[in-house]
Structure 1
Amino acid sequence: MEDDSHLIERKTSGEEIFKGHFLHAFRDQVLLPSGRPATREYVVHPGAVMVIPLLDDGSGEVKLVLERQYRYPVARVMIEFPAGKLDAGESVQRCAQRELLEETGYTARAWARAGVMHPVISYSTEFIDIWFARDLQLGERKLDDGEFLDVVTASPAEFLQWCQQGLVTDAKTLAGALWVQNVLRGDWPLEWTTPVSA
């Protein structure tokens, strides 16, 4: 293992600067590896999941289940994979199951954890656990109060074309495109499991 001590910043003091319903922001004073002081402002995030649902439409071709949702900070309707933040004490797999059902109406008989990503490492502790879901069964959506979104499907080729054309700009969904390509090509195998409770 490499010695990273020449890269590490050390906190000397800190203060809370904002606490909202969802976000919690801090300002810390740190010592750089050179010994000089610096300020770091960052947001503490509870973590989240993203689900890449694989739908067999009966023709033998896999479709991807996606969403179209208005995102206020960028004032745009975005194309995204289903995702959501962890509730306190909730496991990442349980969160993935819950978000898939709430937002799309689907439950899945098989699940595979793909990995984790850190979408905004410069100013947030957020991590997003990436899950694949297959053997989908459609039920009734359970959207949160005040949540409005459309569920859409696309072939992997259509989805990748949307990414290439700039129709998909959401970072987690673009990261999902990398996983989709490699998983469907067989380069990144997954370990599928059947959860006890879906």
Structure 2
Amino acid sequence: MSKPEYKHLVETRKSSQELFKGSFLHAFRDEVFLPDGAVATREYVVHPGAVMVVPLLQDADGTWKVVLERQFRYPLGQTMIEFPAGKLDPGEASAACAQRELLEETGYTATEWARAGVLHPAIAYSSEFIDVWFARGLVAGAQHLDAGEFLDVFTATPAELLQWCMQGQVTDAKTLAAALWLQNVLSGGWTLDWQPTQG
């Protein structure tokens, strides 16, 4: 929602055409009025929203590690390093989705959770938002992967993750954003409101 002082930047819909409706994505082509009254075309994808989890493991000596995944992403034809993530089911609460995705993808459950914020990974052409959650007090268990889902779970130190980001080995936008959150949380620059697991 735009604030009143930015009204001079707002585009308004003139017409809308559905281009595609799949099981996951919904694409549209709209005509919009630009702030100066001219008409332009906007093509975009409506996305149901998602969550990402930054799972923190603490060693006996107090050092932190994060739980990561390697997963093949077909549109890029590459295996990517990512934090656990997944889309919201219809009517599903963000916190419940975060707990479900962590368990399904990694086998871990957590005793404490904190919502860090939200990010929009592709603002030029998608309505997608990703709620960012941190999890700690991890307890290992069995994965419950969806049919057709294949991924490797591994751990790394925050320093290793940041090095991979710098070297271009991590290019996934949500994981790059999470690395920023992680760095600031562990340094004490950003605080989180930790809550015990609900449900």
Q: TM-score range by the shorter chain?
A: over 0.9
What's the CA shift for 1:2?
5.1
Q: Which runs of 4+ in 1 moved over 2 A?
A: none
Alpha-carbon distance between aligned partners in 1 of 2:183 and 2:5, rounded to the nearest angstrom: 34
Alpha-carbon distance between aligned partners in 2 of 1:59 and 1:67, rounded to the nearest angstrom: 24
- Give the partner amino acid of 1:103: E
Aligned-residue sequence identity (percent) comes to 67
Give the corresponding residue for 2:54.
52
Give the corresponding residue for 2:186.
184
Query: Is the partner of 1:73 in helix, strand or coil?
Result: coil
Alpha-carbon distance between aligned partners in 1 of 2:41 and 2:104, rounded to the nearest angstrom: 40
- Give the partner amino acid of 2:86: G
Give the corresponding residue for 2:167.
165
- Give the partner amino acid of 1:117: L
Q: How does 1:88-167 map to 2 (within 5 A)?
A: 88-167=90-169
Give the corresponding residue for 1:175.
177
Alpha-carbon distance between aligned partners in 2 of 1:196 and 1:189, rounded to the nearest angstrom: 20
Give the corresponding residue for 2:45.
43
Question: What's the C-alpha RMSD, in Å, of the aligned pairs?
Answer: 0.8
Unaligned runs of 5+ in 2: none
Are the aligned partners of 2:110 and 2:197 in contact in 1 as well (CA < 8 Å)? no
Query: Is the partner of 2:117 in helix, strand or coil?
Result: strand
Whether 1:23 aligns to 2:37 is no
**1:43-73 superposed Cα distances (whole Å, 9 cap, x missing partner):** 0000000000001132321100000000000
Query: Is the partner of 1:146 in helix, strand or coil?
Result: coil
TM norm structure 2: 0.97
Unaligned runs of 5+ in 1: none
- Give the partner amino acid of 2:166: Q
Alpha-carbon distance between aligned partners in 2 of 1:6 and 1:91, rounded to the nearest angstrom: 35
Alpha-carbon distance between aligned partners in 1 of 2:4 and 2:20, rounded to the nearest angstrom: 36
Query: Is the partner of 2:6 in helix, strand or coil?
Result: coil
Query: Is the partner of 1:4 in helix, strand or coil?
Result: helix
**1:111-134 superposed Cα distances (whole Å, 9 cap, x missing partner):** 000000000000000000000000
- Give the partner amino acid of 1:59: D
- Give the partner amino acid of 2:127: T
* Among 1, 11, 14, the residue aligned to 1:12: 14
Alpha-carbon distance between aligned partners in 2 of 1:156 and 1:191, rounded to the nearest angstrom: 20
Alpha-carbon distance between aligned partners in 1 of 2:62 and 2:84, rounded to the nearest angstrom: 23
Query: Is the partner of 1:3 in helix, strand or coil?
Result: helix
Give the corresponding residue for 1:86.
88
Alpha-carbon distance between aligned partners in 2 of 1:165 and 1:179, rounded to the nearest angstrom: 19
- Give the partner amino acid of 2:108: Y
Report which stretch shifted further, 1-10 or 92-101.
1-10
- Give the partner amino acid of 1:47: G
TM norm structure 1: 0.98
**1:149-193 superposed Cα distances (whole Å, 9 cap, x missing partner):** 000100011111111111100000000010011000000000000
